[in-house]
Amino acid sequence: MTRISEKFKRLKSLHQKALITYVTAGDPTLAFTEKLIYELERSGADIIELGVPFSDPLADGPTIQASHMRALKNDVSVASVIELVKKVRAKTNIPIILMLSFNLVFHYGTQKFVSDSLDAGVDGVIPPDLSHDEATSFVNEAKGLDTIFLVAPTSTDERIQDIVKDSTGFVYLVSLTGITGEGRGLPEDIKNNVSRIKRYTGKPVAVGFGISTPAQVKEICNLADGAIVGSAIVKVIEQNIGKVGALRKVGTFVEKLKSGTVCQKSPV
Q: Which residues are catalytic?
A: 49, 60
d(CA 20, CA 7): 11
CB 226 within 8 A of CB 187: no
Provide φ and ψ at 207, rounded to 5°: -115, 135
d(CA 165, CA 68): 31
CB 152 within 8 A of CB 118: no
d(CA 144, CA 15): 28
Read off the amino acid at residue 223.
Answer: L
C-beta pairs of 63-66 under 8 Å, 24+ apart in sequence: 63/180, 63/181, 63/182, 63/231, 63/234, 63/235, 63/238, 64/22, 64/24, 64/180, 64/230, 64/231, 64/234, 66/238
Read off the amino acid at residue 127.
Answer: P
DSSP character string of 77-121: -HHHHHHHHHHHTTT----EEEE--HHHHHHH-HHHHHHHHHHHT
d(CA 20, CA 8): 11
